[in-house]
Amino acid sequence: MSKTKVKAYGAKASDAALEELQIKRRDLEPNDVKIRIDYCGVCHSDIHTVRNDWGGSQYPVIPGHEIIGTVEAIGGEVSGFKVGQTVGVGCMVDSCRKCPSCREDLEQYCEEGLVGTYNGKDEHLGGHTYGGYSQQIVVDEHFVLNIPENLDLKATAPLLCAGITTWSPLSHWKIKEGDKVGVIGLGGLGHMGIKFANALGAHVVMITRSEDKAQDAKDLGAHDVLISTDDKQMKEHANSFDFLLNTIPVKHDMNPYLGLLKRDKTMVLVGAIEPLEPLHGASLVLSRKRVAGSLIGGIKETQEMLDFCGKHNITCDVEMIDMQKINEAYERVTSSDVKYRFVIDMDSLN
Amino acid sequence: MSKTKVKAYGAKASDAALEELQIKRRDLEPNDVKIRIDYCGVCHSDIHTVRNDWGGSQYPVIPGHEIIGTVEAIGGEVSGFKVGQTVGVGCMVDSCRKCPSCREDLEQYCEEGLVGTYNGKDEHLGGHTYGGYSQQIVVDEHFVLNIPENLDLKATAPLLCAGITTWSPLSHWKIKEGDKVGVIGLGGLGHMGIKFANALGAHVVMITRSEDKAQDAKDLGAHDVLISTDDKQMKEHANSFDFLLNTIPVKHDMNPYLGLLKRDKTMVLVGAIEPLEPLHGASLVLSRKRVAGSLIGGIKETQEMLDFCGKHNITCDVEMIDMQKINEAYERVTSSDVKYRFVIDMDSLN
């Protein structure tokens, strides 16, 4: 069986040197969609994987899991997509489809382990999967998303990771009109958290250490800004939040934020997956508070999020780059110097 | 207005020297119940307060918030109790009664702060409240509990703290027949967690580091025992629990226990209120798990717990002591050398 070779951009070794590569994509299988990639967002996870920060990276790494493209061909049994249609691919390209999580449309929690869009186990070609920093991808239609036609396509790419990562907890925890929602941290995730919480009718408070992010947060839809290093402000907001979306991507102290929650309310972690500063039992016990985690979202809820975005005209704030500028973009992501997501124009690979 | 002087036993200074004291109890007010104390349980919190481990102790400390006694007199407006009746008093003797938590029968989370049975602010006499290591107490009837007549009274005292502390989360999180419930730590709290979870129809697994606690746990009602230091056993039970009741009273690493929970399930902390070992974000994020806290219980649910105990004939496993042996008991509690709660026979004060 012949395999399509496509040009891709990736890290060949753990020193994160990114260079052009030729990679194979599988031939169309009956349920597959072949997608020409138009745009791909740059997620902090790409950098962690390229740099093997979490261990387990398999080289060459072709990163990219915020993919927007155009259907070039479909397998004989594909029913949901047609050639020429704009589609998206997010963080997963497969899962077991049989476990309780998969059966509940929560493929991200697949009990056999989801197949990541990159650095996952490739059951078709062997080896590992290659992501969206490339010209083309072939994906089972179950993991392909419809992109609403009215949206600015360049700015939809990060919805596939930053978008769903913040949407899923807001949806799961049933955020509704009038809830006081705090979004902690203003980056790729945080800026989408603000937009979604605002569109859901919540009273949105941006919680940040940086006074200079206040105006940006308000422009994005925050009704109020709470400077977390200001003890007076923190006291004024104590025990007042219905929900906290914690997007801080690094080790931090959760205890001051927990003091902001009402009794029985929840802070959800979506950013940091490393060991955090010690949690004080009292921060939870004294008012029956909760800390939970949340990982991206299932395919069904990703489509719901995209449809919601179409209806409310929500996209990400992005800065477009050519593929050749990726190392520079990585440096800027690492130093939080982007508002709020880089998106690669894949034309630059041609 | 004359105040009743009663003999009490307490710590006069922060060196935890316990000695006999004369303390005042207020005269009966219209909603008050005057109680002759028959038994009082010894809670680890008593020791922490006597030793000022948490700061804020006010001396002399008269500890004791697991009180069983007999009604000696009632105020003119008391409707729920009569002279001669057996009653209980737990960790609170008052709260604001007006805040949302109080209005929801969750006085333990009173937004003005509950009034502790000891070391709370005494609005009646000034100074601070004195607890149950004494002959008598006067308490507003709202904070007095009915004790089912069929129970062995000596063994009911710790229900007022150890009992409700473990009952409340099992009730709040709606533990039901067939749930796989893990009780972590076998002490005063853990032994009640086992009994309650068993009586609620759960499949109860005792989770402990000590192999030598296995038989005791089974005798108390555990269906299975999981030795948490055995990696093989921990793997076998990974992602299988519907609920974890974490009664460990000291700093510990929560992450291995979180690995035992199913997706979307919760571990509730009821023991440790200090800083814990660093929580890994991934322990929560990867399967949308939760850590929550829980503090004693409201008066309504404490009565429900006592009624449940009456119906299922549940009491605590206790070792009776005379008041004069309290320092020895404290040493043994501190070294976990009690099955599972000391109860003071208050006759020894006469």
For residue A202, the distance in angstroms to the closest alpha carbon of chain B comes to 21
User: Which phi-psi region, left, alpha or beta, contains residue A316 (left: φ > 0; alpha: ψ -120 to 50)?
Assistant: beta
> Which of the four pLDDT bands, split at 50, 70 and 90, describes residue A350?
confident
Which of A165, A273, A288, A294 to mutate against chain B (most B CBs within 10 Å)? A288
Cβ–Cβ below 8 Å for A293 and B277 = no
Nearest CA to CA, how far is B289 from chain A (Å)?
6
Percent of chain B with pLDDT over 90: 90
Long-range contacts of residues A147-152, Cβ cutoff 8 Å, at least 24 apart:
A147/A68, A147/A86, A147/A87, A147/A88, A147/A306, A148/A306, A148/A307, A148/A309, A148/A310, A148/A311, A149/A86, A149/A310, A150/A310, A150/A313, A151/A309, A151/A310, A151/A313, A151/A315, A152/A315
* Res. B3 pLDDT band, cuts 50 70 90: confident
CA dihedral in degrees (A154, A159, A160, A165; nearest 10)?
Answer: 160
DSSP string for residues in A233-290? HHHHTTT-EEEEEE---S----HHHHTTEEEEEEEEE-S--SBPSPPBHHHHHTTT-E
CB contact at 8 A, A296 and A159: no
Q: pLDDT tier at B16 (50, 70, 90 boundaries)?
A: low
- A227, A212 Cβ separation under 8 angstroms: no
Pairing verdict, β B203-208 and B180-184: parallel
On whether residue A26 sits in a domain, the answer given is yes
> In one letter, which amino acid is A248?
I
Mean pLDDT, range A177-201, rounded to an integer: 97
pLDDT, one tens digit per residue, over A43-61 is 999 999 999 988 899 999 9
* Residues B206 and B287 placed together within one structural domain of the fold: yes
Q: Above 70 in pLDDT, residue A15?
A: no
Does residue B303 fall inside a structural domain? no
A263/B109 Cβ within 8 A = yes
- Is residue A249 in a domain? yes
For residue B2, pLDDT beyond 70:
no
Residue B59 lies in a domain: yes
Are A144 and A171 members of one domain? no
* Amino acid B299: pLDDT: 98
Asked whether residue A66 falls in the same domain as residue A105, the answer is yes
Task: Supply the pLDDT for residue A1.
Answer: 44
Q: Are residues B103 and B239 in the same domain?
A: no
B287/A109 CB distance under 8 A: yes
Q: Report the chain A residue with the minimal C-alpha distance to residue B99.
A: A263
Q: How confident is the model at residue B1 (pLDDT cuts 50, 70, 90)?
A: very low
pLDDT tens-digit series, residues B87-103: 999 999 999 999 999 99
Residue range B261-309, pLDDT digits in tens: 999 999 999 998 889 999 999 999 999 999 999 999 999 999 999 999 9
Same domain, residue pair B101 and B46: yes
- Look up the CATH number of the domain holding residue B211: 3.40.50.720
> Do B275 and B259 belong together in one domain?
yes
Mean pLDDT of chain B: 95
Question: In chain A, whose CA is at the least distance from the CA of B254?
Answer: A279
Strands A86-89 and B18-25: unpaired
Whether residue B338 lies inside any domain: the answer is yes
Residue B129's domain comprises 4-161+316-349
Q: Are residues B29 and B146 in the same domain?
A: yes
DSSP state of A338: S
CA B192 to CA B204: how far, in whole Å?
Answer: 12
pLDDT digits (tens, 9 = 90+) for A236-248: 999 999 999 999 9
Does A225 lie in the same domain as A212? yes
Q: Does the residue A271 lie in any domain?
A: yes
Out of B263, B279, B293, closest to residue A285 by CB: B293
Q: What is the mean pLDDT of residues A14-38?
A: 90
Q: Mean of the per-residue pLDDT values for chain A?
A: 95
Say whether both B175 and B275 belong to one domain: yes
> Which residue from B277, B290, B294 is facing A291, i.e. has the nearest CB?
B290
The dihedral over CA atoms of A328, A329, A331, A333, expressed in degrees to the nearest 10, equals: 170
Residues A100 and A146 placed together within one structural domain of the fold: yes
Asked if the C-beta of B55 comes within 8 angstroms of chain A's C-beta atoms, the answer is no
User: Are residues B275 and A278, on separate chains, in Cβ contact within 8 Å?
Assistant: yes
A209, A228 Cβ separation under 8 angstroms = yes
**A271: which chain B residues are within 8 Å (Cβ-Cβ)?**
281
Distance CA B76, CA B3 (A): 18
- What percentage of chain A reaches a pLDDT higher than 70? 99
Q: Which of A291, A296, A301 to mutate to probe the B interface, most B CBs <10 Å? A: A291
Q: What is the ipTM of this complex?
A: 0.93
pLDDT higher for B55 or A292? A292
Do A155 and A15 sit in the same domain of this protein?
A: yes
Flag whether residue A294 sits within 8 Å of chain B, measured between CB atoms. Answer: yes
Residue B93 lies in a domain: yes
CATH number of the domain bearing residue A154 = 3.90.180.10
Q: Is residue A77 in some structural domain?
A: yes
Asked whether residue B236 falls in the same domain as residue B345, the answer is no
State how many domains chain B has. Answer: 2
